[in-house]
């Protein structure tokens, strides 16, 4: 049985209290990635890294994004928590968010992505554990 912590929605969670919006790149990790890349693809032996960046990866306790209206704040909508998969899931998440905001019939069932699941303790088992 999975157990999840549930935090009140009107106070900062431990994640919010510790978040960093603009983290520096991990230079050691980037250097090692270049070593590994050149080892796997010798044709890239002369390639150099021009720039590196770091960014925040937002996630939810159950690994599913939040794509929904926020009942306590009429007119406020969320599409967040893609856990670093925004490039792949972004188009579908954006479509669902647009459907919700515009009051259209959603392309997919939005129930698993409801914001309220965080406060109600109705988190979903991550897809990888199903």
pLDDT digits over 86-96, tens only?
778 889 999 99
Report pLDDT for 1: 41
pTM of the full structure: 0.59
pLDDT at 2 over 60: no
What's the Cα-to-Cα distance from 14 to each of 5, 24, 25, 37, 117, rounded to whole Å? 11, 21, 23, 36, 18
pLDDT digits (tens, 9 = 90+) for 51-69: 887 777 778 888 889 999 9
DSSP string, 24-42: PP-HHHHHHHHHHHHHH-G
- Cα–Cα–Cα angle for 20, 26, 31, rounded to 5 degrees: 165
Amino acid 109: pLDDT: 94
Q: Which residue has the higher pLDDT, 46 or 84?
A: 46
Angular region, 77: left φ>0, alpha ψ -120 to 50, beta rest: beta
Q: Which of the given ranges, 5-9, 36-40, 125-129, has the highest pLDDT on average?
A: 36-40
Q: Are the CB atoms for 31 and 79 separated by under 8 Å?
A: no
pLDDT at 62: 84
Task: Tell me what the pLDDT averaged over the chain comes to.
Answer: 83
């Amino acid at each position: 049985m999975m157990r999840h912590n549930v935090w009140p929605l009107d106070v900062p969670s431990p994640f919010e209290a510790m978040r960093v919006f603009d983290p520096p790149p991990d230079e050691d990790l980037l250097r090692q990635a270049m070593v590994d890349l050149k080892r796997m693809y010798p044709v890239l032996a002369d390639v150099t890294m021009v720039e590196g960046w770091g960014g925040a990866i937002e996630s939810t306790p159950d690994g599913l994004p939040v794509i929904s209206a926020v009942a306590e704040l009429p007119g406020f909508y969320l599409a967040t928590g893609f856990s670093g998969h925004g490039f792949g899931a972004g188009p579908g998440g954006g479509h669902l968010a647009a459907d919700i905001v515009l009051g259209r019939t959603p392309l997919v069932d939005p129930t698993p992505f409801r914001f309220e699941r965080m406060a109600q303790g109705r988190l979903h088992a991550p897809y990888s554990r199903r």
